């Protein structure tokens, strides 16, 4: 996956740890009834769950992955480490303030306005700073691999989503009370969600998997899909254009957004066709844990996208749209993220801990770092809980939803424990950890080189 001698990102593990914290936080809120299907999705508590998941979990997960794999996609040097840490601190601080702001709104506190302004400012500066570094890196290396182009689409969407989100925070804070601006914010909310979840997260995930999955599977590189590239570019351009057009003409904006909605199933089908060819041509006949449990995520992507597009096209009720969105966010994006972390975390840990010892003495197998049996159980429980939770939203059953959310949170917590045990090398024999072995730090990479030329002493 990463050639020996490649530098390890110092702060990728820190991003992953923070991301998993916010995922579990959001799921625990759902499990205790912070939001249930009988409540509106615009309630402050619902927005806490939404932003903890979107910014805290998915956003930090993607940034952490790009810190390590951006250089792999481009063949260029990694981003500045100091900025990576500062951006992480800023995003976490901004998100905590945003959550506090939503709680202040719920409580009717006068502090809500200043807190929301501070949150929006810190989040915008932090996210756009690290995004600009990634954009520069991937733009310079855009010809190295097709994957870079998809991530660039994601970063452009992220910038637009941040701009809209900042405007929302300003309006919510009460600083701007113009009826026309408030009307714009209300109308642009679906575009904000689309740019974040489809433009940024989905095309970012497509870009990373476009390169890494064939490496995991030992299959041929995914072909340069003209349909995927063209439809993906069109979707992002249409969503951004709709956000701009909304200022002048709501009808034109609606048509642009609808066209993007109709193109999304086409892009999804093109991507899934590429995945099918990669799995079919693989030389690794037995699927590893991460590639096997990515399959349900791809299936849920293929189910949720066309159904969600139809629901939007035919103006289905809110519960239908929310249920399908839940399936999309937790089934596709979160399921894929958790499955891949069970490969990425052990692999980066192995590279750091045992790369310097390679060729000097026997080293443990990568599979020794993670318990496959337990991980299979918890990933299966996670996907089942997501499906039941989505069904409960559709049926408007608060009781079933809370039970499903509890199982989802429990399985996530168990997977976090498995990742912690892997990072801590708990399953590795004591003999393999004798001098000159050096145990990795838990939340960051100490041995940047992570190869047989690095010092193990």
Q: Write down the domain spans for the chain.
A: 12-433
- HSE on the CB side for 48, CA within 13 Å? 23
- 117-146 residues labelled b (16+ CB within 10 A) or e (exposed): bbbbbbbbbbbbebbebbbebbeebbeebb
- Domain 12-433: which CATH class? mainly alpha
CA-CA distance, 323 to 408, in Å (whole number)? 15
**pLDDT tier at 173 (50, 70, 90 boundaries)?**
confident
**pLDDT tier at 358 (50, 70, 90 boundaries)?**
confident
Specify the range with the lowest mean pLDDT, choosing from 57-66, 123-132, 214-223, 237-246: 214-223
- Averaged pLDDT score across all residues of the chain: 89
Residue 70's alpha-carbon distances to 208, 232, 323, 328, 355, in angstroms, are 8, 20, 33, 25, 21
pLDDT at 447: 61
pLDDT, tens digit, 9 for 90 and up, residues 66-92: 999 888 888 887 666 778 999 999 999
Omega before 411 within 30 of 0, i.e. cis: no
Q: Are 447 and 8 in contact (CB under 8 A)?
A: yes
CA angle 295, 417, 329 (to 5 degrees): 40
Closest CA to 350 of 334, 331, 332, 369: 369
Q: What is the phi-psi region of residue 140: left when phi exceeds 0, alpha when psi lies from -120 to 50, beta otherwise?
A: alpha
Residue bearing the bigger pLDDT, 106 or 204: 204
pLDDT at 457: 33
Taking 80 as the threshold, does the pLDDT of residue 140 lie above it?
yes
CA dihedral 100, 101, 105, 109 (to 10 degrees): 80
* DSSP helix/strand/coil, 385: helix
pLDDT, tens digit, 9 for 90 and up, residues 414-444: 999 999 999 998 888 877 777 777 888 888 8
Alpha-helical (H) ranges within 52-80 are 60-74
CA angle 135, 148, 330 (to 5 degrees): 90
Alpha-helical (H) ranges within 108-177 are 112-140, 147-173
Average pLDDT over residues 394-416: 97
CA-CA distance, 216 to 224, in Å (whole number)? 19
Helix then strand then coil, % of the chain, to nearest 5? 75, 0, 25
Secondary structure of 191-238 as H, E, C letters:
HHHHHHHHHHHHHHHHHHHHHHHHHHHCCCCCCCCHHHHHHHHHHHHH
Taking 80 as the threshold, does the pLDDT of residue 175 lie above it?
no
Taking 60 as the threshold, does the pLDDT of residue 3 lie above it?
no
- HSE on the CB side for 210, CA within 13 Å? 24
Average pLDDT over residues 204-214: 88
Residue bearing the bigger pLDDT, 255 or 357: 255
Average pLDDT over residues 235-245: 96
**pLDDT tier at 273 (50, 70, 90 boundaries)?**
very high
pLDDT at 145: 78
């Amino acid at each position: 996956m990463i050639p020996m001698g490649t530098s390890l990102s110092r702060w990728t593990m820190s991003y992953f740890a923070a991301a998993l914290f916010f995922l579990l936080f959001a799921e625990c809120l759902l499990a205790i009834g912070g939001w249930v299907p009988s409540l509106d999705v615009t309630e402050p508590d619902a927005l806490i769950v939404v932003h903890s998941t979107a910014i805290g979990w998915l956003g930090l997960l993607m940034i952490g992955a790009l810190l390590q794999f951006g250089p792999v996609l481009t063949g260029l040097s990694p981003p500045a480490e100091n900025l990576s840490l500062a951006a992480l601190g800023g995003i976490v601080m901004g998100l905590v303030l945003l959550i506090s702001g939503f709680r202040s709104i719920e409580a009717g506190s006068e502090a809500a306005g200043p807190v929301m302004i501070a949150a929006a400012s810190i989040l915008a500066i932090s996210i756009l700073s690290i995004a600009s570094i990634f954009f520069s890196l991937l733009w310079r290396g855009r010809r190295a691999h097709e994957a870079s182009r998809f991530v660039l689409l994601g970063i452009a969407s992220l910038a637009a989503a941040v701009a809209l989100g900042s405007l929302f925070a300003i309006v919510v804070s009460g600083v701007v009370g113009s009826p026309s601006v408030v009307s714009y914010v209300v109308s642009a909310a679906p575009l904000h969600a689309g740019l974040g979840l489809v433009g940024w997260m989905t095309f970012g995930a497509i870009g990373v998997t476009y390169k890494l999955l064939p490496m995991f599977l030992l299959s041929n590189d995914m072909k340069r899909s003209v349909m995927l590239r063209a439809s993906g570019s069109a979707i992002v351009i249409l969503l951004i254009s709709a956000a701009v057009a909304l200022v002048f003409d709501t009808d034109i904006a609606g048509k642009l957004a609808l066209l993007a909605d109709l193109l999304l199933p086409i892009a999804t089908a093109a991507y899934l066709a590429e995945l099918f060819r990669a799995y079919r041509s693989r030389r690794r006949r037995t699927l590893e844990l991460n590639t096997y449990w990515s399959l349900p995520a791809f299936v849920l992507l293929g189910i949720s996208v066309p159904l969600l597009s139809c629901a939007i096209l035919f103006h289905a009720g809110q519960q239908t749209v929310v249920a399908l969105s839940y399936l999309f966010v937790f089934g596709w994006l979160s399921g894929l993220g958790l499955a891949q972390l069970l490969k990425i975390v052990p692999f980066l840990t192995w590279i750091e801990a045992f790369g310097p010892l390679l060729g000097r003495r026997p080293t443990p197998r990568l599979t020794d770092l993670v318990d496959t049996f337990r991980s299979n159980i918890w990933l299966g429980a996670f996907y089942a809980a997501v499906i039941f939770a989505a069904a409960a939203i559709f049926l408007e059953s608060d009781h079933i939803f809370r039970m499903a959310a509890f199982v989802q949170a429990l399985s996530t917590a168990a997977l976090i424990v498995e990742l912690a045990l892997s990072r801590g090398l708990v399953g590795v024999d004591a003999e393999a950890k004798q001098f000159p072995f050096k145990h990795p730090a838990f939340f960051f990479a100490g041995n940047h080189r992570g190869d047989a030329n690095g010092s193990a002493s």
